[in-house]
Amino acid sequence: MPKYLAVLTIVLFVGVVVTRLLLLKRQGIAALKFADTHNTDFLIPPFALFYFYLVFAAAFGFPTLSTKKIFHSGISEWLGVACCFTGLSFLLWSLISFGKSFRVGIDTSRPGKLVTDGIFAHSRNPIYVGFAFILIGQFLIFANWILLIYVLAGFWLFHRQVLREEEYLRKHYGDDYNQYFRRVRRYL
């Protein structure tokens, strides 16, 4: 059962983000700004799609690179499910808090207002925290070395993107962002 819930997490995650992007597009907001400011971002989608395949393969027995688990425990699998749904909760609360300011990537042309309420009053980067919970959860469910590499690479990529966003937000919002920066933690 946990492995199917891991797949459901990916389906819900992608579904929620795509739905939000489409709703914003209907309102005339181009929220997909991925790779507009950094040309190397085009490398991320193939790795994300491969990750999705790895999770589906592990859940449904499709061919994959490795089926060997680092460890196996029913408790860790259910802890993984809890992490996945915690991550989805962070994502949903983030999207609600963002309102029309949600973007995928850095929007230098129409950035929207600085969001500091809702979940953003507790974490400056709750979507990345949610992603991290999902990655950790899926690793705990499937516990193979490839997903462990994805967890570590994901943490590095999230942090790299957070630093890029912080630099932009400092320049764009100035003192408002600096006050927010001092008041609220980067992650948790």
Domain edges within the chain: 2-183
User: pLDDT digit string (tens) for 26-54?
Assistant: 988 887 776 665 666 777 888 999 999 99
How far apart are the two ends of the chain, measured CA to CA in Å? 29
The architecture of the domain spanning 2-183 is Up-down Bundle (1.20)
The DSSP result for 39-96, as a single string, is GGGGGHHHHHHHHHHHHHHHHHT---S---BS---HHHHHHHHHHHHHHHHHHHHHHH
Taking alpha carbons only, the member of 6, 11, 145 closest to residue 80 is: 6
Q: Model pTM? A: 0.92
Segment 126-154, tens digit of pLDDT: 999 999 999 999 999 999 999 999 999 99
CA 132 to chain centre: 7
